[in-house]
Amino acid sequence: MAEHYIPDDLPTHIRHYIDGEFVDSVNGATFDVLDPVSNESYATAAAGQKEDVDLAVAAARKAFTNGPWPRMKPRERARVLHRIADAVEAQETRLAQLETFDTGLPITQAKGQALRAAENFRFFADLIVAQFDDAMKVPGAQINYVNRKPIGVAGLITPWNTPFMLESWKLAPALATGNTVVLKPAEFTPLSASLWAKIFKDAGLPDGVFNLVNGLGEEAGDALVKHPDVPLISFTGETTTGKTIFRNAAENLKGLSMELGGKSPAIIFADADLDAAIDSTLFGVFSLNGERCTAGSRILVHRHIYEAFCEQYAARARNIVVGDPHDPKTEVGALVHPEHYDKVARYVEIGKTEGRLLAGGGRPEGLPGGNYIAPTVFADVRPDARIFQEEIFGPVVTITPFDDDAEALALANNTRYGLAAYVWTNDLTRAHNFSQSLEAGMVWLNSHNVRDLRTPFGGVKASGLGHEGGYRSIDFYTDQQAVHITLGAVHTPKFGASASQ
Protein backbone atom coordinates (compact mmCIF):
# COMPACT_ATOMS: atom_id res chain seq x y z
CA MET A 1 0.00 0.00 0.00
CA ALA A 2 1.29 3.46 -0.94
CA GLU A 3 2.25 5.90 1.77
CA HIS A 4 -0.76 7.75 3.18
CA TYR A 5 -1.05 11.23 1.65
CA ILE A 6 -1.28 14.11 4.13
CA PRO A 7 -2.15 17.59 2.79
CA ASP A 8 0.20 20.49 3.49
CA ASP A 9 -0.52 23.07 6.18
CA LEU A 10 -3.00 21.00 8.14
CA PRO A 11 -4.15 22.80 11.28
CA THR A 12 -3.32 21.20 14.60
CA HIS A 13 -6.20 23.00 16.32
CA ILE A 14 -9.60 23.95 14.89
CA ARG A 15 -11.41 26.86 16.55
CA HIS A 16 -14.87 28.40 16.59
CA TYR A 17 -15.57 31.52 14.51
CA ILE A 18 -17.76 34.05 16.31
CA ASP A 19 -18.42 37.67 15.33
CA GLY A 20 -15.53 37.76 12.88
CA GLU A 21 -12.91 36.19 15.19
CA PHE A 22 -11.49 32.70 15.70
CA VAL A 23 -11.92 31.72 19.34
CA ASP A 24 -11.61 28.72 21.63
CA SER A 25 -14.36 27.42 23.85
CA VAL A 26 -15.02 29.54 26.93
CA ASN A 27 -14.13 26.59 29.17
CA GLY A 28 -11.26 25.41 26.94
CA ALA A 29 -12.89 22.07 26.09
CA THR A 30 -11.60 20.21 23.02
CA PHE A 31 -12.08 16.91 21.20
CA ASP A 32 -9.77 14.88 18.95
CA VAL A 33 -10.25 14.76 15.18
CA LEU A 34 -9.16 11.55 13.41
CA ASP A 35 -8.30 10.89 9.80
CA PRO A 36 -10.08 7.74 8.55
CA VAL A 37 -7.07 6.07 6.91
CA SER A 38 -4.74 6.01 9.92
CA ASN A 39 -7.41 6.56 12.60
CA GLU A 40 -4.86 8.77 14.32
CA SER A 41 -5.66 12.19 15.75
CA TYR A 42 -4.30 14.93 13.50
CA ALA A 43 -5.88 17.88 15.34
CA THR A 44 -7.94 18.98 18.28
CA ALA A 45 -11.10 21.01 17.83
CA ALA A 46 -12.76 23.41 20.22
CA ALA A 47 -15.73 21.63 21.79
CA GLY A 48 -18.59 24.09 21.92
CA GLN A 49 -20.81 24.25 24.98
CA LYS A 50 -23.95 26.24 25.76
CA GLU A 51 -21.96 29.37 26.59
CA ASP A 52 -20.19 29.27 23.21
CA VAL A 53 -23.48 28.85 21.37
CA ASP A 54 -24.88 31.77 23.39
CA LEU A 55 -22.02 33.99 22.21
CA ALA A 56 -22.47 32.93 18.59
CA VAL A 57 -26.22 33.49 18.67
CA ALA A 58 -25.78 36.88 20.30
CA ALA A 59 -23.36 37.92 17.53
CA ALA A 60 -25.72 36.64 14.84
CA ARG A 61 -28.69 38.34 16.46
CA LYS A 62 -26.84 41.66 16.68
CA ALA A 63 -25.80 41.40 13.01
CA PHE A 64 -29.41 40.71 12.06
CA THR A 65 -30.97 43.44 14.19
CA ASN A 66 -28.42 46.22 13.68
CA GLY A 67 -26.23 45.17 10.76
CA PRO A 68 -26.50 45.91 7.05
CA TRP A 69 -26.90 42.35 5.73
CA PRO A 70 -30.70 41.92 5.99
CA ARG A 71 -31.24 45.43 4.61
CA MET A 72 -29.04 45.11 1.53
CA LYS A 73 -30.65 44.97 -1.88
CA PRO A 74 -30.82 41.46 -3.37
CA ARG A 75 -28.28 42.38 -6.04
CA GLU A 76 -25.80 43.54 -3.38
CA ARG A 77 -26.12 40.26 -1.48
CA ALA A 78 -25.89 38.36 -4.75
CA ARG A 79 -22.54 39.99 -5.55
CA VAL A 80 -21.16 38.72 -2.23
CA LEU A 81 -22.49 35.24 -2.93
CA HIS A 82 -20.87 35.19 -6.36
CA ARG A 83 -17.54 36.20 -4.81
CA ILE A 84 -17.94 33.31 -2.38
CA ALA A 85 -18.55 30.95 -5.31
CA ASP A 86 -15.47 32.30 -7.09
CA ALA A 87 -13.34 31.63 -4.00
CA VAL A 88 -14.64 28.08 -3.63
CA GLU A 89 -13.91 27.32 -7.28
CA ALA A 90 -10.42 28.82 -7.01
CA GLN A 91 -9.66 26.48 -4.09
CA GLU A 92 -11.19 23.35 -5.67
CA THR A 93 -8.03 21.25 -5.51
CA ARG A 94 -7.19 22.26 -1.95
CA LEU A 95 -10.78 21.77 -0.77
CA ALA A 96 -10.92 18.33 -2.35
CA GLN A 97 -7.64 17.30 -0.68
CA LEU A 98 -8.86 18.41 2.74
CA GLU A 99 -12.28 16.81 2.28
CA THR A 100 -10.74 13.53 1.18
CA PHE A 101 -8.30 13.54 4.09
CA ASP A 102 -11.03 14.32 6.63
CA THR A 103 -13.85 12.09 5.31
CA GLY A 104 -12.19 9.23 3.42
CA LEU A 105 -14.11 10.07 0.22
CA PRO A 106 -12.26 9.21 -3.01
CA ILE A 107 -10.47 12.28 -4.35
CA THR A 108 -12.23 12.17 -7.72
CA GLN A 109 -15.61 12.37 -5.96
CA ALA A 110 -14.47 15.04 -3.50
CA LYS A 111 -13.55 17.34 -6.40
CA GLY A 112 -17.12 17.24 -7.61
CA GLN A 113 -18.35 18.30 -4.17
CA ALA A 114 -16.33 21.55 -4.23
CA LEU A 115 -17.76 22.55 -7.59
CA ARG A 116 -21.28 21.73 -6.44
CA ALA A 117 -20.75 23.90 -3.36
CA ALA A 118 -19.84 26.85 -5.59
CA GLU A 119 -22.87 26.20 -7.78
CA ASN A 120 -25.15 26.31 -4.73
CA PHE A 121 -24.02 29.89 -4.03
CA ARG A 122 -24.37 30.92 -7.65
CA PHE A 123 -27.83 29.39 -7.90
CA PHE A 124 -29.23 31.22 -4.88
CA ALA A 125 -27.46 34.45 -5.83
CA ASP A 126 -29.34 34.35 -9.12
CA LEU A 127 -32.59 33.25 -7.53
CA ILE A 128 -32.88 36.13 -5.07
CA VAL A 129 -32.29 38.68 -7.82
CA ALA A 130 -35.03 37.09 -9.95
CA GLN A 131 -37.34 36.55 -6.96
CA PHE A 132 -40.79 38.14 -7.18
CA ASP A 133 -43.81 37.77 -4.95
CA ASP A 134 -47.53 37.68 -5.39
CA ALA A 135 -49.83 40.65 -5.71
CA MET A 136 -53.60 40.19 -5.81
CA LYS A 137 -56.09 42.86 -6.83
CA VAL A 138 -59.81 43.31 -6.25
CA PRO A 139 -60.61 46.10 -8.76
CA GLY A 140 -61.70 49.29 -7.05
CA ALA A 141 -61.60 47.70 -3.61
CA GLN A 142 -58.24 46.29 -2.53
CA ILE A 143 -54.68 45.39 -3.43
CA ASN A 144 -52.93 42.64 -1.51
CA TYR A 145 -49.24 41.92 -1.83
CA VAL A 146 -46.68 39.67 -0.16
CA ASN A 147 -43.75 41.27 1.65
CA ARG A 148 -41.05 38.63 2.04
CA LYS A 149 -38.71 39.14 5.01
CA PRO A 150 -35.71 37.26 6.44
CA ILE A 151 -36.61 35.58 9.72
CA GLY A 152 -33.52 36.01 11.90
CA VAL A 153 -30.81 33.65 13.13
CA ALA A 154 -30.79 30.29 11.35
CA GLY A 155 -29.23 27.32 13.13
CA LEU A 156 -27.62 24.99 10.60
CA ILE A 157 -26.60 21.48 11.68
CA THR A 158 -24.78 19.50 9.02
CA PRO A 159 -23.61 15.88 8.62
CA TRP A 160 -20.20 14.34 8.06
CA ASN A 161 -20.80 12.91 4.57
CA THR A 162 -19.80 15.45 1.90
CA PRO A 163 -19.70 18.10 4.66
CA PHE A 164 -18.49 21.15 2.69
CA MET A 165 -21.07 20.72 -0.07
CA LEU A 166 -23.92 20.08 2.37
CA GLU A 167 -22.91 23.12 4.42
CA SER A 168 -23.15 25.21 1.25
CA TRP A 169 -26.61 23.78 0.57
CA LYS A 170 -27.84 25.42 3.80
CA LEU A 171 -25.57 28.45 4.00
CA ALA A 172 -26.32 29.75 0.51
CA PRO A 173 -30.13 30.15 0.80
CA ALA A 174 -29.99 31.23 4.46
CA LEU A 175 -27.54 34.04 3.63
CA ALA A 176 -29.10 34.90 0.26
CA THR A 177 -32.43 35.68 1.91
CA GLY A 178 -30.82 38.03 4.46
CA ASN A 179 -30.64 35.84 7.55
CA THR A 180 -27.63 35.45 9.81
CA VAL A 181 -26.42 31.97 10.74
CA VAL A 182 -24.78 29.76 13.32
CA LEU A 183 -23.31 26.63 11.75
CA LYS A 184 -22.67 23.49 13.81
CA PRO A 185 -20.74 21.05 11.60
CA ALA A 186 -20.44 17.34 12.33
CA GLU A 187 -17.81 16.52 14.93
CA PHE A 188 -16.27 13.75 12.79
CA THR A 189 -15.40 16.18 9.97
CA PRO A 190 -14.80 19.78 11.12
CA LEU A 191 -11.81 20.49 8.87
CA SER A 192 -13.36 21.96 5.73
CA ALA A 193 -16.02 23.93 7.64
CA SER A 194 -13.27 26.09 9.13
CA LEU A 195 -12.43 27.34 5.62
CA TRP A 196 -15.74 29.18 5.30
CA ALA A 197 -14.64 31.92 7.70
CA LYS A 198 -11.88 33.31 5.47
CA ILE A 199 -13.89 32.75 2.30
CA PHE A 200 -16.78 34.79 3.70
CA LYS A 201 -14.56 37.51 5.20
CA ASP A 202 -12.67 38.01 1.93
CA ALA A 203 -15.96 38.12 -0.01
CA GLY A 204 -17.23 41.01 2.13
CA LEU A 205 -19.72 39.28 4.39
CA PRO A 206 -20.15 41.49 7.48
CA ASP A 207 -18.89 40.20 10.82
CA GLY A 208 -21.49 38.32 12.82
CA VAL A 209 -23.50 37.20 9.79
CA PHE A 210 -21.69 33.84 9.74
CA ASN A 211 -20.74 32.10 12.97
CA LEU A 212 -19.32 28.62 13.47
CA VAL A 213 -19.40 26.52 16.63
CA ASN A 214 -17.74 23.10 16.57
CA GLY A 215 -18.69 20.42 19.03
CA LEU A 216 -20.71 17.34 19.82
CA GLY A 217 -24.34 17.08 18.86
CA GLU A 218 -25.51 16.48 22.41
CA GLU A 219 -23.69 19.61 23.60
CA ALA A 220 -23.30 22.32 20.92
CA GLY A 221 -26.08 21.00 18.69
CA ASP A 222 -28.48 20.62 21.59
CA ALA A 223 -27.81 24.18 22.82
CA LEU A 224 -28.39 25.59 19.32
CA VAL A 225 -31.70 23.75 18.90
CA LYS A 226 -32.96 24.92 22.30
CA HIS A 227 -31.82 28.55 22.02
CA PRO A 228 -34.83 30.90 22.15
CA ASP A 229 -33.23 33.41 19.76
CA VAL A 230 -32.81 30.86 16.94
CA PRO A 231 -36.20 30.64 15.18
CA LEU A 232 -35.05 28.29 12.40
CA ILE A 233 -33.26 24.94 12.46
CA SER A 234 -32.15 23.16 9.29
CA PHE A 235 -30.79 19.69 10.02
CA THR A 236 -29.42 16.90 7.87
CA GLY A 237 -28.67 13.65 9.64
CA GLU A 238 -30.11 10.41 10.88
CA THR A 239 -33.72 9.94 11.94
CA THR A 240 -33.21 9.28 15.67
CA THR A 241 -31.40 12.61 16.09
CA GLY A 242 -34.11 14.27 14.00
CA LYS A 243 -36.77 13.09 16.45
CA THR A 244 -34.79 14.56 19.36
CA ILE A 245 -34.48 17.89 17.53
CA PHE A 246 -38.21 17.86 16.80
CA ARG A 247 -38.99 17.44 20.51
CA ASN A 248 -36.49 20.06 21.65
CA ALA A 249 -37.61 22.62 19.06
CA ALA A 250 -41.24 22.35 20.16
CA GLU A 251 -40.77 24.54 23.25
CA ASN A 252 -40.09 27.59 21.07
CA LEU A 253 -42.19 26.51 18.06
CA LYS A 254 -39.19 26.73 15.72
CA GLY A 255 -39.35 26.38 12.00
CA LEU A 256 -37.83 23.02 11.07
CA SER A 257 -36.42 21.57 7.88
CA MET A 258 -35.02 18.09 8.37
CA GLU A 259 -33.59 15.73 5.78
CA LEU A 260 -33.21 12.43 7.59
CA GLY A 261 -32.36 8.80 6.87
CA GLY A 262 -33.12 6.68 3.86
CA LYS A 263 -33.37 3.10 2.67
CA SER A 264 -34.14 3.87 -0.92
CA PRO A 265 -35.27 1.19 -3.40
CA ALA A 266 -34.10 0.75 -6.96
CA ILE A 267 -36.77 -1.20 -8.87
CA ILE A 268 -35.64 -2.94 -12.05
CA PHE A 269 -38.31 -4.31 -14.34
CA ALA A 270 -37.74 -7.01 -16.95
CA ASP A 271 -37.89 -4.53 -19.83
CA ALA A 272 -35.17 -2.28 -18.39
CA ASP A 273 -31.85 -1.57 -20.09
CA LEU A 274 -29.91 -4.05 -17.95
CA ASP A 275 -26.43 -2.69 -18.63
CA ALA A 276 -27.46 0.88 -17.83
CA ALA A 277 -29.31 -0.26 -14.71
CA ILE A 278 -26.26 -2.14 -13.45
CA ASP A 279 -23.99 0.86 -14.06
CA SER A 280 -26.38 3.19 -12.29
CA THR A 281 -27.25 1.00 -9.31
CA LEU A 282 -23.58 0.25 -8.69
CA PHE A 283 -22.73 3.95 -8.67
CA GLY A 284 -25.88 4.79 -6.73
CA VAL A 285 -24.90 2.73 -3.69
CA PHE A 286 -21.09 2.53 -3.79
CA SER A 287 -20.18 6.12 -4.71
CA LEU A 288 -19.31 8.33 -1.72
CA ASN A 289 -18.40 5.05 0.05
CA GLY A 290 -22.09 4.28 0.37
CA GLU A 291 -22.33 7.09 2.92
CA ARG A 292 -25.16 8.91 1.20
CA CYS A 293 -28.74 9.43 2.31
CA THR A 294 -30.18 8.82 -1.17
CA ALA A 295 -28.24 5.59 -1.81
CA GLY A 296 -30.30 2.97 -3.65
CA SER A 297 -29.39 0.35 -1.07
CA ARG A 298 -32.35 -1.99 -1.73
CA ILE A 299 -32.39 -3.33 -5.29
CA LEU A 300 -35.63 -5.04 -6.33
CA VAL A 301 -35.34 -7.07 -9.54
CA HIS A 302 -38.00 -8.85 -11.64
CA ARG A 303 -37.57 -12.59 -11.34
CA HIS A 304 -37.20 -13.08 -15.11
CA ILE A 305 -33.86 -11.22 -15.04
CA TYR A 306 -32.98 -11.78 -11.38
CA GLU A 307 -30.19 -14.34 -11.65
CA ALA A 308 -28.56 -12.60 -14.61
CA PHE A 309 -28.66 -9.30 -12.77
CA CYS A 310 -27.22 -10.78 -9.56
CA GLU A 311 -24.37 -12.47 -11.41
CA GLN A 312 -23.37 -9.38 -13.40
CA TYR A 313 -23.84 -6.99 -10.49
CA ALA A 314 -21.74 -9.08 -8.10
CA ALA A 315 -18.95 -9.50 -10.65
CA ARG A 316 -18.73 -5.73 -11.06
CA ALA A 317 -18.89 -5.13 -7.29
CA ARG A 318 -16.00 -7.54 -6.71
CA ASN A 319 -13.98 -5.52 -9.24
CA ILE A 320 -14.49 -2.11 -7.57
CA VAL A 321 -11.18 -0.51 -6.58
CA VAL A 322 -10.97 0.00 -2.81
CA GLY A 323 -7.96 1.90 -1.52
CA ASP A 324 -6.37 5.10 -0.35
CA PRO A 325 -8.85 7.94 -0.85
CA HIS A 326 -6.18 10.18 -2.42
CA ASP A 327 -5.41 7.69 -5.21
CA PRO A 328 -7.30 8.76 -8.37
CA LYS A 329 -7.92 5.09 -9.19
CA THR A 330 -9.84 4.54 -5.95
CA GLU A 331 -13.60 4.09 -6.31
CA VAL A 332 -14.41 3.30 -2.64
CA GLY A 333 -12.27 4.82 0.10
CA ALA A 334 -12.26 4.63 3.88
CA LEU A 335 -15.37 5.06 6.01
CA VAL A 336 -15.41 8.28 7.98
CA HIS A 337 -14.66 7.11 11.54
CA PRO A 338 -13.95 3.90 13.49
CA GLU A 339 -17.32 4.18 15.25
CA HIS A 340 -19.10 4.17 11.91
CA TYR A 341 -16.85 1.42 10.56
CA ASP A 342 -17.83 -0.78 13.50
CA LYS A 343 -21.52 -0.14 12.83
CA VAL A 344 -21.27 -1.06 9.14
CA ALA A 345 -19.14 -4.11 9.92
CA ARG A 346 -21.81 -5.33 12.37
CA TYR A 347 -24.46 -5.06 9.64
CA VAL A 348 -22.24 -7.05 7.27
CA GLU A 349 -22.10 -9.86 9.82
CA ILE A 350 -25.88 -9.67 10.35
CA GLY A 351 -26.31 -9.84 6.57
CA LYS A 352 -24.45 -13.13 6.39
CA THR A 353 -27.34 -14.67 8.34
CA GLU A 354 -30.04 -12.90 6.30
CA GLY A 355 -28.95 -13.21 2.68
CA ARG A 356 -26.72 -14.95 0.13
CA LEU A 357 -23.33 -13.20 0.11
CA LEU A 358 -22.28 -12.51 -3.48
CA ALA A 359 -19.44 -10.02 -2.99
CA GLY A 360 -17.40 -8.45 -0.22
CA GLY A 361 -18.32 -9.38 3.30
CA GLY A 362 -15.61 -7.67 5.31
CA ARG A 363 -12.24 -5.96 5.12
CA PRO A 364 -10.60 -5.99 1.66
CA GLU A 365 -7.34 -7.85 1.18
CA GLY A 366 -4.20 -5.75 1.42
CA LEU A 367 -5.75 -3.07 3.63
CA PRO A 368 -5.10 -4.23 7.21
CA GLY A 369 -5.62 -0.75 8.72
CA GLY A 370 -8.07 2.10 8.24
CA ASN A 371 -11.86 2.04 7.99
CA TYR A 372 -12.12 -0.06 4.83
CA ILE A 373 -15.02 -2.36 3.95
CA ALA A 374 -15.21 -4.14 0.62
CA PRO A 375 -18.33 -3.43 -1.48
CA THR A 376 -20.76 -6.01 -0.15
CA VAL A 377 -23.69 -7.56 -2.01
CA PHE A 378 -26.39 -9.77 -0.45
CA ALA A 379 -29.00 -11.52 -2.60
CA ASP A 380 -32.29 -13.28 -1.72
CA VAL A 381 -32.91 -10.82 1.12
CA ARG A 382 -36.38 -11.04 2.66
CA PRO A 383 -38.34 -7.85 3.43
CA ASP A 384 -38.33 -8.56 7.18
CA ALA A 385 -34.50 -8.75 7.30
CA ARG A 386 -32.70 -6.07 9.27
CA ILE A 387 -30.40 -5.32 6.34
CA PHE A 388 -33.53 -4.69 4.23
CA GLN A 389 -35.21 -2.45 6.79
CA GLU A 390 -32.43 -0.52 8.57
CA GLU A 391 -30.17 2.21 7.21
CA ILE A 392 -26.58 0.94 7.05
CA PHE A 393 -24.98 4.01 5.40
CA GLY A 394 -22.04 2.13 3.93
CA PRO A 395 -21.03 0.08 0.87
CA VAL A 396 -23.63 -2.63 1.45
CA VAL A 397 -26.56 -3.48 -0.83
CA THR A 398 -29.42 -5.99 -0.75
CA ILE A 399 -31.06 -7.62 -3.81
CA THR A 400 -34.58 -9.05 -3.64
CA PRO A 401 -36.72 -10.61 -6.42
CA PHE A 402 -40.32 -9.72 -7.30
CA ASP A 403 -42.87 -11.32 -9.62
CA ASP A 404 -45.19 -8.47 -10.63
CA ASP A 405 -45.76 -4.74 -10.31
CA ALA A 406 -47.93 -5.04 -7.22
CA GLU A 407 -45.29 -7.03 -5.34
CA ALA A 408 -42.58 -4.59 -6.45
CA LEU A 409 -44.59 -1.65 -5.10
CA ALA A 410 -45.29 -3.40 -1.80
CA LEU A 411 -41.60 -4.23 -1.34
CA ALA A 412 -40.50 -0.72 -2.32
CA ASN A 413 -42.83 0.92 0.22
CA ASN A 414 -42.15 -1.62 2.97
CA THR A 415 -39.84 0.45 5.18
CA ARG A 416 -40.33 3.39 7.52
CA TYR A 417 -38.21 5.54 5.20
CA GLY A 418 -39.29 7.46 2.12
CA LEU A 419 -36.48 9.64 0.79
CA ALA A 420 -35.67 8.54 -2.76
CA ALA A 421 -36.52 5.78 -5.24
CA TYR A 422 -35.16 4.71 -8.61
CA VAL A 423 -37.28 3.02 -11.30
CA TRP A 424 -35.92 1.22 -14.33
CA THR A 425 -38.39 0.44 -17.11
CA ASN A 426 -39.01 1.35 -20.74
CA ASP A 427 -42.80 1.19 -20.31
CA LEU A 428 -43.94 4.82 -20.22
CA THR A 429 -47.32 4.14 -18.60
CA ARG A 430 -45.81 1.95 -15.90
CA ALA A 431 -43.03 4.48 -15.28
CA HIS A 432 -45.46 7.28 -14.41
CA ASN A 433 -48.06 5.26 -12.54
CA PHE A 434 -45.54 3.27 -10.52
CA SER A 435 -43.47 6.34 -9.64
CA GLN A 436 -46.50 8.23 -8.40
CA SER A 437 -47.46 5.28 -6.15
CA LEU A 438 -44.09 5.19 -4.45
CA GLU A 439 -43.82 6.55 -0.90
CA ALA A 440 -40.76 8.65 -1.68
CA GLY A 441 -40.04 12.36 -1.74
CA MET A 442 -37.98 12.01 -4.93
CA VAL A 443 -38.07 9.50 -7.79
CA TRP A 444 -35.59 9.05 -10.61
CA LEU A 445 -36.58 7.21 -13.78
CA ASN A 446 -33.80 5.32 -15.57
CA SER A 447 -30.99 7.15 -13.78
CA HIS A 448 -29.25 7.53 -10.45
CA ASN A 449 -29.36 10.72 -8.36
CA VAL A 450 -28.89 13.49 -10.94
CA ARG A 451 -30.60 16.56 -9.55
CA ASP A 452 -31.80 19.93 -10.81
CA LEU A 453 -31.26 22.53 -8.06
CA ARG A 454 -34.66 24.09 -8.80
CA THR A 455 -36.56 20.99 -7.68
CA PRO A 456 -37.74 20.22 -4.12
CA PHE A 457 -35.45 18.03 -2.05
CA GLY A 458 -36.87 16.11 0.89
CA GLY A 459 -38.49 12.92 2.05
CA VAL A 460 -41.69 11.49 3.50
CA LYS A 461 -42.35 9.20 6.47
CA ALA A 462 -39.20 8.86 8.62
CA SER A 463 -37.01 10.48 5.96
CA GLY A 464 -37.72 14.07 6.77
CA LEU A 465 -39.85 17.08 7.42
CA GLY A 466 -40.32 19.77 4.81
CA HIS A 467 -38.50 20.42 1.56
CA GLU A 468 -35.61 22.61 0.47
CA GLY A 469 -34.29 23.42 -2.98
CA GLY A 470 -35.18 26.28 -5.30
CA TYR A 471 -38.10 28.39 -4.08
CA ARG A 472 -38.78 25.92 -1.24
CA SER A 473 -35.53 27.07 0.38
CA ILE A 474 -36.54 30.71 -0.11
CA ASP A 475 -39.87 29.93 1.55
CA PHE A 476 -38.22 28.22 4.52
CA TYR A 477 -35.77 31.04 5.26
CA THR A 478 -38.29 33.88 4.91
CA ASP A 479 -41.57 35.05 6.40
CA GLN A 480 -44.28 35.90 3.89
CA GLN A 481 -46.16 38.87 5.26
CA ALA A 482 -49.48 39.72 3.62
CA VAL A 483 -50.10 43.48 3.25
CA HIS A 484 -53.67 44.60 2.46
CA ILE A 485 -54.38 48.05 0.99
CA THR A 486 -57.91 49.38 0.75
CA LEU A 487 -58.75 51.29 -2.45
CA GLY A 488 -62.38 52.14 -1.82
CA ALA A 489 -64.84 52.73 0.97
CA VAL A 490 -64.92 50.04 3.60
CA HIS A 491 -68.34 48.98 4.77
CA THR A 492 -67.94 48.22 8.45
CA PRO A 493 -70.77 47.29 10.83
CA LYS A 494 -71.12 50.20 13.28
CA PHE A 495 -70.96 48.40 16.62
CA GLY A 496 -72.18 50.57 19.47
CA ALA A 497 -73.35 53.40 17.21
CA SER A 498 -77.11 53.09 17.79
CA ALA A 499 -78.79 55.33 20.40
CA SER A 500 -79.17 53.64 23.76
CA GLN A 501 -82.76 52.71 24.69
> Residue 93 — φ and ψ, nearest 5°?
-65, -45
Mean pLDDT of all residues belonging to the chain: 96
The predicted structure's pLDDT at residue 113:
87
Sign of the torsion angle spanned by Cα atoms 217, 164, 266, 467: positive
Task: Name the residue among 218, 271, 199, 231 with its Cα closest to residue 427.
Answer: 271
Alpha-carbon span 74 to 126, nearest angstrom: 9
Alpha-carbon span 25 to 234, nearest angstrom: 23
| 2 compared with 146, residue with greater pLDDT | 146
The tens digit of pLDDT for each residue in 87-109 reads 999 999 999 999 999 999 999 99
Q: What is this structure's pTM?
A: 0.95
Task: Name the residue among 228, 175, 202, 157 with its Cα closest to residue 64.
Answer: 175
The predicted structure's pLDDT at residue 58:
98
Task: Name the residue among 13, 8, 141, 162 with its Cα closest to residue 99.
Answer: 162
The predicted structure's pLDDT at residue 155:
98
The predicted structure's pLDDT at residue 500:
59
Q: What is the mean pLDDT of residues 65-77?
A: 98
Q: What share of the chain is helix, strand, coil (3-state, %, to 5)?
A: 40, 20, 40
The tens digit of pLDDT for each residue in 349-391 reads 999 999 999 999 999 999 999 999 999 999 999 999 999 999 9
Q: What is the mean pLDDT of residues 481-492?
A: 92
The predicted structure's pLDDT at residue 264:
98
Task: Name the residue among 321, 261, 207, 297 with its Cα closest to residue 458.
Answer: 261
pLDDT greater than 90 at residue 498:
no
Contact status, residue 390 vs residue 244, Cβ threshold 8 Å: no
Contact status, residue 358 vs residue 139, Cβ threshold 8 Å: no
pLDDT greater than 60 at residue 175:
yes
3-state class of 438 per DSSP? coil
pLDDT greater than 70 at residue 478:
yes
pLDDT greater than 50 at residue 1:
no
Known catalytic residues?
259, 293
Q: Which residues contact 441 (CB under 8 A, 6 or more apart)?
A: 418, 419, 420, 456, 457, 458, 459, 460, 463, 464, 467
pLDDT greater than 50 at residue 240:
yes
The tens digit of pLDDT for each residue in 187-213 reads 999 999 999 999 999 999 999 999 999
pLDDT greater than 70 at residue 459:
yes
The predicted structure's pLDDT at residue 489:
87
3-state class of 12 per DSSP? coil
